[in-house]
Structure 1
Amino acid sequence: MTVEFRLLGGVEVLVDGCRVDLGPARQQRVLAALLIGANQVATVEQLVERVWGEGAPQRARSTLYSYLSRLRHALRPAEEEARIARRSGGYRLSVAPTAADLHRFRALVPLARAAADAGDEDEAARLFEEALALWQGDLCPGTDTPWFNVQRDTAHAELLAAALDRGDLQLRRGRHAELAPVLTDHAERHPLDERIAAQLMLTLYRCGRPADALRHYQELRHRLAAELGIDPGPALRELYRQILVSDPRLAPPDRAVVSPRRAAATPRQLPAIPALFTGRDRERVRLDKLLTPRAEPGDAVPVSTICGTGGVGKTWLALRWAHDRQECWPDGQLYADLRGFTPTGDPLDPYTVLREFLDALGADPAHRPTAPHAQAALYRSLTHGKRLLIVLDNARDTDQVLPLLPGSPTCTVLITSRHQLPGLAAAHGTTHLTLGTLDDSEAHELLGRRLGADRLAAEPAAAAALLRHCAGLPLALSVLAARLTTNPVLTLTALAAELGETATRLDALDTGEPSTDVRAVLASSYRALDPDTARVFRQLAQAPGADIGPAAAAGLTALPAARLRTRLRRLQAHHLLQERGPGRYSCHDLLRSYAVELAATVAPASEGQQALTRVLDHYVHTAYAADRLLMPHRDPIRLVPASPGTHPEHFATHDAAMRWFADEHTVLSAAVDRAERTGHDAHAWQLAWALTTFLARRGRWTDLAALHTTALAAAERADDVAARAESHRTRAFACTETGRLAEAHRELARALALSEASGNRPSLAHTHLALGWLYEREGDHAAALRHDGSAVDLFTNLGNLPWRARALNALAWDHARLGDHPAAVRRGQEALALQEELADARGQAGTWDTLGYAYHHLGDHPQAVDCYRRSLHLNRVLGHRYNEAETLVHLSHTHRATGAIGAARETLRQALALYREIQTPDAEVEQVRALLAELPQSARSAVPRSGP
């Protein structure tokens, strides 16, 4: 593990190259204060004074302790390398002596000076370069307390001294060409420093600019006189005299190192405009805003990175935009394919590219410096003040790009990479444009431009399938177009069928040429991963849904949360994974196909199998825990044991459980299918069982029926009789709610037979209760009464009070439907008393609705309205949309009976909106519409202000 601490340019900690979240700015200051004084004890009072200064609040000490605790937690992944420990009198951050960039700088500079004194100028130059390269900005920028300001001033003085020592060294070595931009910047910052002035004057003179050197001396002399009332010192006056007479002693020690510029044509290196470029209008506008050329000396070089997965069209976009804006860079355009992710070959050495750029800019190869850093300095000199566009295509990482960045804000740099290059963003403030796949209309336009609109229109279903299988990836679309245009007998339908086979989909996109083979392009991104991150990429192929959350991913990979976040960030940085929403990770279908292929061919078979089992364990145990909050009185089931490394989620409230199901139910349904297909039969039906309450509350009857069809197949294969009966009952429930009553009877007949044959009395009781509801929906209220009565007797004998109460409510409803409303009230109140004692909110919601119905028909309308409102409140708390809509319909009848037509109309409108939202069968929707149509057009009273 490598741990880096950064203070120069911002307070950062990187573990294996990934940034650690250090919390808010003031918390970062605490770490910076400890880090500047690393391995020394700082008292609490000292830390408060360093972090807050004189304006420390009263609770500064307690806030400091909180910051220290959070920092310890944040540094836990690196605790072997860095630890904040309490010591007598204060706190100490224990780290390696050169773990922080500031301390490495302070260690390297004396070594460089010693090497220079010993005559080893090459080693001295290398050490100075390494030390100065650590400065990516101010020390702890943004911290404005007396202590930090003193530390910053001290560090800046050390930086300037080191830079000037390096300047003297480079002048002795004849490396003056690379010093001009740096010394010009120093002179602007320190206009009265005579040592800087002397170095700049000598540099300008040796670069063939004696007039500029003499002019700088005169400007300094006037400034010294005006501001300090003094003249330049003897050394500077002597240098001025020597420049006037062209003293031979000012000549560089070796003239061969000077790099005069030869005449050269304006470089125009951009490759040809991409053929049939399509879409990306928003992205081109965005690039216009990001990469406006600048000219002020204090401006940063405009640098932007187009990043995205392989084959998404980054180079196409960069070249299209660059060609469209050529007039913005009259001094030329430089281009290099850095081959960072080329399927064949290694990435280009940036200094090879640098030498090519120097040739294009007119540098004479015979007089070019040999040292790479000197070549980079010459490159910056030659680009200084020029309006140039530099396109660096297919960059591997930040280190490959850094030597190729100019120093002048008049230049513009556009980079493409599959990696997000976070180091470049941190050091140079680069902007990012993340390029996604094409949307449906853009993908259709691209394929149409390649094949012709008529050909797509002739086979519309096949064209739609091709677009779907390519997942909006421009490279894949182009490969298909190439196959279709080079093989006239190949039809869209035949090609769509070929791509329809998931296992061979990438074979259909194989052109035989590495640069356009989709598999080869994806493989080059995969090969850039470290082994642990590559394993996580393969394991994520086992995710059963379209996306996955961090907790499920932790179960799938068996990684601690901190290590998993690191791997996920690396996959995102390489654009092998996307965060489509907060905490939701996914990749497009072709990447998933490639990951599945890798899991089958590269990894041990057990890797994928174990990952799938763990993620299914996670979903089963988490869904079960969430369902217990939705329906705590539901009969429990015995779950499959959770695998080691699985950490199911737990929820504190009913609302939290509902939100989790709302976020995950699509993934959970996919997990049921995946479990059944892969022989995880217990996982399949248990997960379906846990999803039932949520789907029923949302009225998703079709989804519920499909889910338990899959669960039933798993239960039959596992010969689990109780699970089979449960799935038959649930399918019957869904059929009942969607009006398929004959099918519901068949399902319940099977459930009844299974329950009786196995002697499972709880299952038998639940089946009678389901039969009661089915007969009620058919209008056979006497049969419903018989079955619900049997359920009451069975639940009573079992001692199952929650379900006895539910059955009593069903019995009350049967009495109400038979016209015996006093009996309905008695049975309803009996059920309600049990449910209130048990705190069964779901049961109470149903019973209040039944009582409202009974009171309405007894003519006690105020009591009915009160009961309905209690039911509505509980259903809304529970998120039971379907029952809420039913109760609204019942309440509308009571409002109509009392003449409150406006209130009746509003409750029906709310019910209709809910039915539409949860996709209720058309028959029930039409019933509500009919009730609305029956209402008189004038209303005697308005809707109550509190609502129904």
Structure 2
Amino acid sequence: MTTGAADELLRRYCQDLHTLWRQAGGPSLRTLGGSVGLSKSQVGAVLGGQIRRPPDWDVVKSLVGAFHQYAKEHDRLRHVSLRTGIEEFWRPRHAMLEQAFRHRRTTDPKAPAADRQPPRPAPAAPPVPRPVPRQLPPAVRCFTGRDTELRALTALLELPAEDGDAVVISCLNGTAGVGKTALAVHWAHQVADRFPDGQLYVNLRGYHPEQPMGADEAVTGFLDALGVPDQDLPRDLDGRSARFRTELAGRRMLIVLDNASSVEQIRPLLPGTGRCLVLVTSRDSLAGLVAVDGAQRLDLSTLPLTDAAVLLHRLIGWRAEVEADAVQALARRCAQLPLALRIAAELAGRRSEAPLAELLAELADGQRRLNLLATGDDPHAAVTAVFSWSTQHLPAEVARTFRLLGLHPGADLDGYAVAALAGTGLAAARDTLDLLARAHLVHPTSTGRYGMHDLLRAYAVSLTTALDGDRDQRAARDRLFDYYLAATADAVAGLYPAEVTSRPRVAPAATPSPDLSEPHAAKRWLDTERCTLVAVARYTATHGWAGHAIRLSVLLYRYLDGGHYADGLAVYQHALHAARQVGDLVGQAHALAGLGNTEQRVGRPESAAEHLRQAIELFRRSGDPVGEATAQNSLGFLHFELVRYDSAESCFGRALTLFRQTANLTGEALVCNNLGLVHRRRGRHEAAAEHHRRALELARRTHDWTAEALALDCLGLVEQQLGRHRAAADHHQQALVLTRRYGNRRGEAHVLDNLGTAQVGLGAPERAHRYFEQALAIFTEIGDYGGRASALNGLGEATHASGQPATALTHFIAALSAATIAGARHQQARAHTGLGHAHHTRGEPGRAHHHYEYALAHAADLELAEAERIRSHVTALADHGPVNRTT
């Protein structure tokens, strides 16, 4: 084995130990070190792959045992890999690793050249880089003052921690509008280069009047930014918090937790090691975080008068030089609060014809009208007075729109949402947003989208409560929720023109909507608005718009099934709550079906099966055969994944009957494809091909490109198993064009993987290697361990076919690890078969026989047609006959 191949084998071995550690919940390195007799840094080196030779077997055995014990104590044994036997799985891998390094020693450069002619290794698949999030919002314009506070924050970077694992936490505390966020973001941009692994930012909306962000939502967003796929997310907050700490281990990152209201919001978002720094902003003093977690508190007061005047000078311009006394008075009138100063400066700048003294008089009148001066030095009085001052000088329709913005449940919005709230045209809505942004009453969050400071949101809500009647507020929310429902329906129709489930009828919105008929525009809109749609689902489910929450969940079913599983679980839970509140059985059935399908994706088979059975019963009672068929199909696929082929065929058969009775061609196509999968797995190739051809015909008739790509890909697989590799490659190429045209990354990876296998069959292993590498990169990116196992098996088969059995071993071992993590037993059988081939080629019949036996056991248990082929290899080995290099 070459030096590079042995090192790659060691890297993957350590990587899989690290994966097992994460799945166990990330026990501390100090705890692990105590259990295996190593230092914390030595354990970290093993898990981080920072070692040059294999660790002792006793160390590995103790580590894996500690992972299992920790997982058992913390109820995390749901991962298949945590239930894998140490001796049965890790001992053979460790022995193979040690053998690889022993073999490498025999190829030392000092040895005679004739004695060392190792096969040229195929290039290793390029590593997929870990995401480096850059989530900081834009720095505020004309930032002024705060030199003392900036130096204090920077000094935190130089503090020697008493404990090397201590996390540095700083809390910026102060009243609303005092500039906590501006200071935090300004400083974060100054020091961003000191955190090469990225910066995370979240607005916890701690003082939002209705929807503060929970810690579970925040940590889920962070995990998404760090590249953790939804299917790998732990079920509860504690598990996700542990996974977050695991992902941050060894990284140097800056984490900004903005606008927190309580310690409970913060603690699940804290890293576990001292290489990260956390900056928290809050109106609360957060005494518990200081006392228990060692946070450094930095109290932020209003700007000194000099700095406040300088800020006004910079914002107002030359007029401030002429009216210096008025600027000082204006700074005092604004209580030297940065938010109030900026709003006042914007209004002064827009009214360039009026002297600043006149504006000061108006502000004084506003304070008297609002009766806000009674508190004397209360800064909230000043900022509210400035809000009032600013909004009173807005055009009436713009002021009304500002008030209505407080009714929006999401974090930000665009011109279409504003048009819906206000009942205006799109151009007027965009002009209003521009004017409000110039007045600092909203702020841009991205191109064409705007958010609102929580203090301004609260002020807007108070105004709409006082000035707009209940009927007007209800009408505004009706228009907004109708718009989101109609736009979602348009986007789903554009992206999935042939929906499997029966779509609810949705009337067109009465206000402007974007053109979402083109698939790319539809997907872009759904991706942009996904968080808002989840917020809308939550609000409508609990505030009297149950029908909107239910229909929204049905519309989003197929989109959310594309990998947005955490959001899907939230949307379906809200829909289930709404449907139960109003006694809607069909709505309950759809929500239960969505929950069951999503739980299947994230590895909760027992809960998924129970929800799907409940959905089937409710659909049946409600007389909804299409819904029942869809749920039966999902339950059938769950059985298929669990290797219960008889149960899967039974469910697929019932679903097919119902779809045909209702003339639902799209549903029929999907079930035909699934039946073909079962037949192919059982070796019934002609029956499988017949089902896939029927699915292809229906998909083309209904213009369902997703089903068409799937049918073409499956037909290619059948052709491969019949030995018709050229026809197989043609089918896969057609499927690849469709998946790439419509941006289906998971589908693209599967097709690339299958194309690689076809090229191996065609005798072109080098070309196959390229396809497998591309597939592996995508599968790794989206977190699909089953796909990774398949692509790695393919790489092993390709390198073995090109005469490199030593390199093939590294791929097959990595494939076996990924397949074990995914619970993909058919890929485990394939990996053991490949290992048997590679060992036999290397003249190691004992090892080959060992892996063939394992492969045969897996194949027989799974009812794989492959079992007979593997049995023939075992027989050939026993007779010392030749073994074919390809599979």
TM-score of the pair, normalised by structure 1: 0.47
Instruction: Give the number of the structure with larger relative contact order, counting CA–CA contacts within 8 Å between residues 6 or more apart.
Output: 2
TM-score of the pair, normalised by structure 2: 0.50
- Structure ID, larger Rg: 1
